[in-house]
Structures are given as C-alpha cells and as structure tokens.
Amino acid sequence: MAIQEPAVTGARAHDPAQGPRNPGTALELGWLRGVEVNRSAVERRAGTLSGRRTVKKAYQAAWLLKAITCIDLTTLAGDDTKGRVERLCAKAVNPVRRDILEALGMADAGLSVGAVCVYPTMVPHAVRALHGSGVPVASVATGFPAGLTPLPSRLEEIRYAVAEGAAEIDIVITREHVLTGNWGALYDEVRLFREACGEAHLKAILATGELGTLRNVYKASLVAMMAGADFVKTSTGKELENATPTVSLVMVRAVREYFERTGFYVGFKPAGGIKTAKDALLWLSLMKEELGRAWLEPELFRFGASSLLGDIERQLEHHVTGRYAALYRQPVA
C-alpha cells in the first residue's frame, strides 16, 4: 500500500487544528490502574509498518523533506566545542545542499530542521549561531542522561538553560519512580520541571529501555502528560535499547488516549538509533496512521538524531541524480 504524499512545508509550519499547549491534569490513579498492554499484539502491529508499505520516487522525496523539518539535530558528546555547535547550527539552517534543493524545486522553501539540541553549556553558542533563523535551541537538562543528581540541581539546570535562550528543554525522569510504581512522585517531579521551564516547552525523556515493561512505558507516558509535558520522548540515546517501533507504538497510543480524553495535543519524539532515511519513513508512517496528519508537523513530532540527516540528504541526491554519493559528500550532518 502506497502512502500518499504529505505537504512539504518549512520547519515552522503549524496545523491550525492544534489547540493550546498541554496544561496537564490532576493525577488520575484510576486511569493508570486500568492500563493493560498486549505485547504480542503490539509487536505484530509494529511489524506491519515496514512490511507492507512502499514510498517511491517523488513521494519518497516529499516524505524525506518532511522528515528533515522534524529533526532535532543533536550533539551530546563529551568533546563538544563552540566550533562543533556552530557547524551543526549552520547545517540546521541549510540542511540540504542548494543544488539538490534546486533540482527538487525547493530552493526557496526555507527548509530547516526542527531544532538544534545541545548540552546546557552549549546553549549560548547555539543561540548566537541561530539568531534570526527561526530554528529553536533545545537543551537537555536534569542530570542527563541518568537523572540522578539532586532535585535542586536539576531544577537549576533547567533555569540556567532557559535563561541562556533555550526554547525547549529535554528532561529525564527518575526511573526509580516508574520501577517502584510511585506515580505520585513521578507526577510531582515532572510538574516541578514544567514550572521551571516557564514558556520553554518540556520534552519528557522516559528512557524506555530501562523501564522494565511496556505497561510501565504506557503509564509513565500518561503521568508525564498529566503533569504537563509538551512531548514524550523515548530515550536519551545512551541506553542499551533506544527507540524501537514497538515502544514507540505504545507511547503514541498513550498520546492518542490522552488527546481523546482531554482534548490536549502532546508531541512525540523517538530518539536513539534512528540513522537512515528508511527509519525516518517508518516513524512518519507510524505517526500518520496512529495519530493523523497534525502529528506530521514539528510542533508535535521530532526525531532525536545526529546522523539521520546525512543519509536523508544522500537519498535525496540519489533521487535527483540516480547515483548514490559517498556519505562524506554531504556536509556536516
């Protein structure tokens, strides 16, 4: 079954159907007690995403251009420098070589990625490099990736990143709260993080590979949304298991249930291990089929990735020229 071509727009497009920012709700423990997840059914459904769908030629190019607008172009390495961040920001504003865009008729479309994601100390460099571009800066915080620093330090890290200009904050939750079923503690923690963010949007990283069960993943997603998360995110990228179609399906089903029950839109961000254009098409298919067209915009969907953009650009060059270029031909991705 072929997937129809999505509209190709710039990274700042916004679906008019999207409502106000998720304010959160009261913690509803009764809702959590009713959660059940059938792993075999989830795995069977997730397996259909890549097995019976094809996107070819101009349709594939359109979907890949859409994927670019949803990338959080990321560098989270111990040897990050001002220069590396500046190069990444230059790539964020010009994600595809101009000759390729001209061949696609997209040279004047204003194509850019969804955001640039860095450590808090790199935020000032990214903000300066992206000034006037419209591309926001996202910062990890709260003791990323383990989240085991004292709570006052985690809150202060959020406030620091926001004060330096971060428009989005990717927080990590305390996994112990999920593993012990202490949903009240998880709710209170995320609520405090949301308050510290102020106007900056909060993405709650669940580190799903460390939560034990798919039911825990579903419940943790619901609690984060009840506490006011703007996005739920699979992973830090540092766990042994990161974003998978199975865990992503569980999380987007939780997003859908939360929307149906409250009317509030919450975004989804898979991160870790998403490296190829084929991966991007799979996750876009998941969002379109499970959540609908509104969730194909960067306001509600992001990839956390560092190398994905390079492969997408390579596939677009193949679409234009009929030849696969070496990856090194694509500037910093």
* pLDDT attached to residue 240: 87
Q: Is the pLDDT of residue 333 over 80?
A: no
For 307-330, the pLDDT digits (tens) are 899 999 999 999 999 988 877 777
Would you please indicate which residues are annotated as catalytic (active-site) residues? Answer: 170, 233, 269
264-279 mean pLDDT: 95
Nearest to residue 176, comparing CAs of 185, 166, 167, 188?
185
For 143-180, the pLDDT digits (tens) are 999 999 999 999 999 999 999 999 999 999 999 999 99
User: What is the average pLDDT score of the chain?
Assistant: 92
Residue type for position 111 = L
For 34-88, the pLDDT digits (tens) are 999 999 999 999 998 876 557 888 999 999 999 999 999 999 999 999 999 999 9
- 179 C-beta neighbours (distance < 10 Å), count: 14
209-217 mean pLDDT: 97
* pLDDT attached to residue 1: 27
* pLDDT attached to residue 325: 81
Structural domains in the chain plus CATH codes: 29-329 (3.20.20.70)
Confidence band of 300 (pLDDT split at 50, 70, 90): very high
Q: For the whole model, what pTM was predicted?
A: 0.92
* pLDDT attached to residue 275: 93
| C-alpha R_g of the chain | 19
* pLDDT attached to residue 173: 98
Confidence band of 7 (pLDDT split at 50, 70, 90): very low
Q: Is the pLDDT of residue 289 over 50?
A: yes
224-231 mean pLDDT: 98
* Dihedral over Cα of 290, 177, 29, 196: its sign: negative
* pLDDT attached to residue 324: 84
* pLDDT attached to residue 18: 60
Residue type for position 279 = D
- 125 C-beta neighbours (distance < 10 Å), count: 21
Q: Is the pLDDT of residue 2 over 80?
A: no
Nearest to residue 51, comparing CAs of 277, 290, 234, 281?
281
